[in-house]
Chains A and B, each alone.
Chain A
Amino acid sequence: MIERLKRYAVAGWYKPSQVQDVRVPAGGRWILLLLSLLLAAGAVVQQWREHQRLQRGQLIYQQGWPGANLAGDDSSLPELATRCVNCHDAGSSAQSAFAPALNAAALRQLHPRRGGPPSRYDESSLCKLLREGVDPAWVQIPRAMPRYNVSDEDCAALWRYLVSR
């Protein structure tokens, strides 16, 4: 390692006199290696979790919400009935007229909704809407949009997926 640092010093990265100052004590290189591995593993786990979250959000949006039930009820709804695309699929003009498109532009941009002042969604306001039917400007949305019992994890997953679109 010292040899390598000396080569860097020759290349102008360090002054040769500094090389002695950064000498790694015996066994220290293993600690450094371990720390690097831990950092790399942490980054991989973080990426994997994010990927899982996106996949979960996509599943909820396109194929339905496994085990979902209406707010205040304990009966599970079939996944087919809870697909967001049933109403929010902007690919079909008839369906898009039934319910608004759900994507990053529609959710994150500041604009007036349902006659309220300009507002934008974030993760917590999306969760509030899903659970209580209240939008970010505190306007009640039509009851044609069901209210669901939804966990924080599922809500976060759906938000991540929607703003990735």
Chain B
Amino acid sequence: MSVPASESQRSAFSPQLKRRGLLALGAAALLPRVVHAHAPLGPIEPPLAAPALPLTLHDGSATDLPRLLKGRWSALQLMFTGCSATCPIQGAVFAALQGKLAATLPQAQLLSVSIDPLNDTAAALAAWRQRFSAQAIWLAAAPPVKHADVLLDFVDSRAVGSDRHTAQTLLFDNHGRFAYRCAEFASARDIARLMQQMARR
């Protein structure tokens, strides 16, 4: 049997409830940032059209992201050439991936997009590619400085700490849409298999 709260009880609870309400509001305000750092892995439903982000490739040529993605099955990673923590492994995974895709999915491409356009000139990107023996299907690119965070926000791939990006591999379909998010350090074998399955659909 429920007992109604007395006037004194109600007045005693109300400051608590107010505090809880304020806390809940505060948490709600923080929620988008928290969710941001933990975007779900797997298929992106519905797939998201890539933003019209201008890019400079490792060979110095200018293009934009939708143009680069259109007509190809793409695996994209965020990186920067001065990164010594996760990026060397990301590079090694793409180095293995290019070999697995060359024979099985000729319309595939790999994109390493810098989150540090201030330092990642075309020459720096070219040197980074060379370090991993990148073949023609593997491109490296950087956006203009003022658009440095556009892609980071679009793919929800911010990391907490000094390294601002995650080591996730992001898959785009041949219409240039963000379609699948792989966990950090997914293996080259698994990424190749996923891309082949996407292309077969």
Contact = CB atoms under 8 A, between A and B. Distances in A.
B92 A81 contact: yes
Given A72-B187, A75-B187, A144-B166, A98 B88 contact: no
B11 interface: no
Nearest to A72: B187
| A interface, size bucket | 20 to 34
Interface string B124-168: 000000000000000000000000000000000001011100110
B91 A81 contact: yes
A78 interface: yes
Nearest to A93: B162
B88 A143 contact: no
A144 B165 CA distance: 10
Contacts of B92: 75, 77-78, 81
Contacts, number: 63
A3 to B, nearest CB: 69
Contact of B88 (A72, A74, A75, A86): A86
B189 A144 contact: no
B85 A81 contact: no
A99 interface: yes
A98 B188 contact: no
A98 B161 contact: yes
Contacts of A80: 88
A21 interface: no
Given A97-B162, A144-B159, A144-B166, A70 B88 contact: no
A71 B183 CA distance: 13
A78 B185 contact: no
A6 to B, nearest CB: 70
Nearest to A96: B162
Contact of B185 (A94, A97, A98, A146): A146
B159 A70 contact: no
B161 A75 contact: no
7 contacts: A70-B89, A73-B190, A86-B88, A87-B85, A97-B162, A98-B163, A144-B166
Interface of B: 84-86, 88-89, 91-93, 96, 159, 161-163, 166-167, 183-185, 187-190
Given A73-B188, A75-B93, A81-B92, 14 more contacts: A72-B187, A72-B190, A73-B187, A75-B187, A75-B189, A78-B88, A78-B92, A81-B89, A82-B89, A97-B162, A144-B85, A144-B166, A146-B89, A147-B185
Nearest 6 A/B pairs, CB to CB? A73-B187, A75-B96, A81-B88, A143-B184, A87-B85, A77-B92
